[in-house]
Structures are given as C-alpha cells and as structure tokens.
Structure 1
Amino acid sequence: MAQNAVDTLLNLAIKSLLSNESATIRALEELPIDLFVPLFKSAFLGRQKKILKAMVRVWPFRCLHIGTLQPQETNYDIFEAMIDGLQLPPDQNSSSGNLQIDNLSAHRSSLQIVDLVCTDRLELENAHLRDVNTLLSQLIHLESLSLTDVERRSSKGRNFTAFLACLKKLDNLEELSFSFFCLTNQLHKLLRVLQPQLDSLSLTFCDLSNRDIIALSQSTQAIHLKLLKLSNNQLVWEFHEPLLNLLENVSSTLQYLEINNCQITDSVLSSILPALSHCSHLRIFSFACNPITVPVLMNLVQHLTPLMELRYVIYPVPVDCYEQWDLNGSLDQEKLAAVKAQLNLMLQMAQREDMKWTTFPR
C-alpha cells in the first residue's frame, strides 16, 4: 500500500475518533500505542480539552513533549487541561511530578499555570541562575535537582548567594546533579547548605579544583553518598590525600563511582587502591579517558575482583597501547587485544566471570 494511502487512512481514523469525545475517552485504554502521538497532536490543535486531559492520565510513554506544537499565549486553557490530567488524587498517585525544562526563559509564561508545590524532581537546562532562584523559591518538596549549562559566572555574586539560600530550604533533597556549572573553589559553600541525607551527587564539567575535592572529602554528605560522579574535571593532583579520604568516607555506602577524564594517573590510582578495595557495595566503577598504564591496570583488577557486588568496570585504553605516550598516536589493536586477554584470564582465575570490564576509548 502506498505511503500516502496509509497517511490518509490514519487521518480518517483520527478524525473519526475525535468526532466522538466520550467514545474516544472510553477507548483510550485499548487504543494502539502508535495512535497516541498523532491523536494527541490533533486533539491539541483542535483544542479538545477533555480528550487531552484523559490522554495525559493514560499516556503510555515516559515523556510527553509538547515543544514542537508551539503553543501560544491563548493556549493556557489547553495546558491547564493537561496538567489536570497529571494531578491525580493522593490515593492514586502518592508521588509528585518528572518537571523538565530545556530552556527556562522560553517557557517562563507556561510555568505560571503549573502547581510547583507538587514537583519533587526538577531538571533545568540552559538557564540563568537568577531565573533558577525564582523557580526554586516556589519548591518545597524537591527531592532531585539537576542543572545543566548554567551561565558560567553564576557561582559568584548575589545570584549565587541567593541560590545557596534556596538550596538550604530544600529539606528533602536527596539527589543533586550539576553539569557545565562553574564551581571552582566554591563547593565548600554549596556543601555547607545541603542536607546530610544526600545520596546522589554529580558534578561533571564543573571546573572543580583540589580545594573542592578537599571540601567534599570533609563534608558530612560524603558518608551517605551512594552515587558520585566527578567526570570531566581537569584536576591537577598535587597530592592524593583528599581523593583517598573521600573514598574512605564513602566506602560503606558508595554503589556508583564515575571519575572519567579527571587526569587520574598511575600514581593517583595506585594511591587510592586501598580505599577503592574497601568500597564493598560498589556496583559500577568508571574511570575512562585517564592516562593509565597496563601494570597499574592489572594491579587494579587484583584489588577489585574481591568486591562481590561490583559488576561493571569501564576502564581507559592504557597509554602503552598507543604509539605515542600522550594518547594522541594511533592505537595498536594487537596490544589492546593482549591487554583484554590478560584481563579476562585474571577474571577467570578469580572466578569473577560475572564481572564485566570494558573500554571506553578516548
């Protein structure tokens, strides 16, 4: 059947559904999943609020994106209908709502109709800290906060001070994620206002310094963390004690550790091996894109195989598998294959075939 014929049949089916609101609403539970998106678009453009409200309640996908529909100011009632569909009674939905905003300034008017009190997870991308503060001041039950690409000079001045004041009021916050948010020498201020029950901390592309690692190692949050991501911070390891102390403090709770592209050298990795080997609940360890040699990598394997909960390790291609020592030369596939064979043999000898080691080439 020609594609235009299929499109015509689909349009006719949707038109038929939308012509009878009550019948469509009753049929939503049995509606084929492929029809949800085109039906939603047509109902949105046709301003059929009852159908939209009912569709949101039974939406079969993880996300509902409406940005491509380009709603106008006159569509506030359409937004209200969809939000009403999300606000189920507490006995049907004990949790609050997954609020995700890619460009805060572009959606500022739409936020006026959202009940932010019900929000417990907030993800913001491409925002100024001033606008973030305005939004955070309206949230009282936030459990998870993710900020990506916040204006780089935001960690200094009045806006950052106001941001810290907002964070201090978030008594339920358990997960915090920053990416492309400059925090150089400012992390101690941030940690000072966070609740001690924080169990997930992600600080990637945050321009962290040694001073920041020291602050983190000495924080009360460190003893509770289950997830820690410090990837893509170009640290200069003048001394290794802060990272060692940090790992010792999180060793009883940590399950996920990610330190990709952090200038972890042989000496740094060797110094933290004792602390790593005490992380008895560690499940995933990723340290890709760091300049490590084969002997230190094999020493790491010996230290980590006794960790029975550890299942996945993502490691860098050792520098001695490249023609040039600085990882900019071409990769010698035969050397890499030999490294992988040696590693697999060590896992077999340790009876840890359940542990998967994989490379993430630079």
Structure 2
Amino acid sequence: MGVQNPLTLQELASQTLVRDEALTMSFLEKLPPGLFPTLFKEACTGSHTKLVRAMVAVWPFPCLPMWTLMKTPDLETFHAVLDGVDMRLTGEFQPRFLMTPLKTLSITGYQISQSDLDFFPCCQSLFQLKHLDLRGVVLQDFDLMPLRGLLEKVADTLKTLDLLGCRMEDSQVNVLLPALRQCSRLRYVNFYNNDFSMAILKDLFQHTVNWSKMKVEKYPAPLECYDDLTHLFKERFPHLCQDLVDTLRTVRQPKNISFATLNCHTCDECFVYDQVSRLCGCWE
C-alpha cells in the first residue's frame, strides 16, 4: 500500500466547512479569498449545490476554475454554478471586493444544454472575458445565437477563443461570423475538429479583416478532404489547405496558421498542415 500525503490545513478546513452548508454560507463574505479554490473543489466533489451556488455568487477572483467540475461531471452542480453567476448578475450578493467580472471562462469536455448556452449573453459577469475555452463541448445541434450574443458583448476584450472539438457545422459558424468580425483583440483561435467546408472557411476568413493582433490560428481540414467514410484524401489535403492560406492572404497576413484533420482511423493521430504537410505515423 502506498503512503498517502497528509491533508493540508486548507483541505482540512474545507472539509469541515462543507459539513455545515448553512453555517458556511452565512459567513462566506468573511472567508479569506485564498480558501475559496479549495472549498469550491470540496463543494463540487461532494455535490453541495447550495454552497456551490453561493460561492460562485461571491467569487473573489477573475477566473472561475470550471475544470473542478470536469473531474466529477454532475449536471445539477453545473446548474448551481450557472445559478450563482445569475445571482451575481441580479445583485443578490454585493460585498465590495467580490464583484470582479470574470476574465476567463473554461468549460471543457462537459456537455451543456441549450438552456445553459441561452444564459451566457445575459450574464453581466461574463461581459469582460479575455479568454473563452469551450474545448470538447459538443455544439452540433445547438442554436448558437446566444454564443454570438456573448461574443458581441466581449468583442472589445476577448483575446483567446478555443472551440476545439465542438463539432460545429457550416450553418452554425455562419451564425457566429458577424460577432467574430468584431473581435478585433483576438490573438489565438482554435477551430480544430469542427465540420467546416471550403466555402465556409473562405467566408470566415473574409470576416477576419480586423484580426490584426492575431498570432496563432488553428482551423479544421475542410470537409472536401474526406470521402463519405471520413477517410482522408492525402494528396488533396495540402492543396486545399494552401488554397485556403492564399485566400486568407488576400485579407491579411497570417503569422502562424495551421489546419488539422480528424484523427486517423488507424493510429488515432492527425495530419497537420502549417505551410508544410505533416503526416500521421501511418503515412510517413
């Protein structure tokens, strides 16, 4: 048997505090800010939804650690987080030092609902986001007008946008184009593992004329690179990607741009094109 590391004082204190939700909630505003992350982790792990909701409402930092939820994904706990954000919006909690708007929202590998997404553009605490990370959140069947609404709200502050693996289709990214055009402070975008055609990628590029601060941009290989079973046409892939790069260069000069395929059916790796085609192990 391995020897377990002893609990830290913060962990011990947090475990004690979650045992009495009502008492802890009554003096949340007086807790040292440094105790919040550990207590939030304990509350999420134990599904103490009332405490989670109250903590989010008075969260003292600009970044909320949503990765804590990913370890024990629970829809009720996630809704409690959104309720807490709503409480910040409505002003039900108003201490001086706890109304800081969130700078980072990271929800990765977690399946949200349409109603969750609908809430985003209504939440004032999100209106100064600098970083939005929705990696692995499948949006394929969603109405993305709420996400467009949020992007429009944060167009003057957003620096990074990560939508890797969201499985968006042409019609959905088309909804986002007017908002993406406004995001002039973007420095990093990731659209890998989405289902975009050549036509929509070229249309997207036409809407990036204001992305003068962009440093790294990642796009999915267009659908025209695959057959009906999503097997890659190896020879077609680099030619289509170069065509896309040439199209973008008529709009602006990209600094670091790449295209990646879906994972290989054999080795589970992907092809990447970043001016040079890098193949997975099966083709090299």
Counterpart for residue 85 of structure 2: 191
Instruction: Give the superposition deviation at 1:256.
Output: 0.6
Counterpart for residue 191 of structure 2: 287
Contact in 2 for aligned 1:315/1:357 (Cα 8 Å): yes
Change (3 A) 1:182 1:150: farther
SS in 2 for 1:289: coil
Counterpart for residue 111 of structure 1: 8
Instruction: Give the superposition deviation at 1:242.
Output: 0.9
Contact in 1 for aligned 2:182/2:210 (Cα 8 Å): no
Counterpart for residue 82 of structure 1: none
Contact in 1 for aligned 2:134/2:162 (Cα 8 Å): yes
Instruction: Give the superposition deviation at 1:216.
Output: 1.1
Counterpart for residue 249 of structure 2: 348
Contact in 1 for aligned 2:170/2:195 (Cα 8 Å): yes
Counterpart for residue 258 of structure 1: 162
* Counterpart mapping for 1:157-168 below 5 A: 159-168=48-57
Counterpart for residue 220 of structure 1: 124
Counterpart for residue 134 of structure 2: 230
CA distance in 1, matches of 2:199, 2:10: 59
| Amino acid of the structure 2 residue aligned with 1:214 | D
Q: Greater relative contact order (Cα 8 A, min sep 6): structure 1 or 2?
A: 2
Contact in 1 for aligned 2:133/2:161 (Cα 8 Å): yes
SS in 2 for 1:285: strand
Change (3 A) 1:177 1:353: same
SS in 2 for 1:201: strand
CA distance in 2, matches of 1:218, 1:238: 17
Q: Runs of 5+ in structure 1 lacking a partner? A: 1-67, 71-105, 118-126
Aligned-residue RMSD, C-alpha = 3.6
TM-score of the pair, normalised by structure 1 = 0.57
Change (3 A) 1:300 1:221: same
Structure (1 or 2) with the larger CA radius of gyration: 1
CA distance in 2, matches of 1:357, 1:227: 20
What is the identity percentage for the equivalent residue pairs of Structure 1 and Structure 2? 22
Counterpart for residue 66 of structure 2: 178
Which stretches of structure 1, 4 residues or more, deviate above 6 A after TM superposition?
A: 113-117, 146-153
2:32 is equivalent to residue 140 of structure 1: yes
Contact in 2 for aligned 1:175/1:201 (Cα 8 Å): yes
| Amino acid of the structure 2 residue aligned with 1:191 | V
SS in 2 for 1:333: coil
Instruction: Give the superposition deviation at 1:351.
Output: 4.4
Change (3 A) 1:153 1:230: farther
Counterpart for residue 266 of structure 2: none
TM-score of the pair, normalised by structure 2 = 0.71
SS in 1 for 2:33: coil
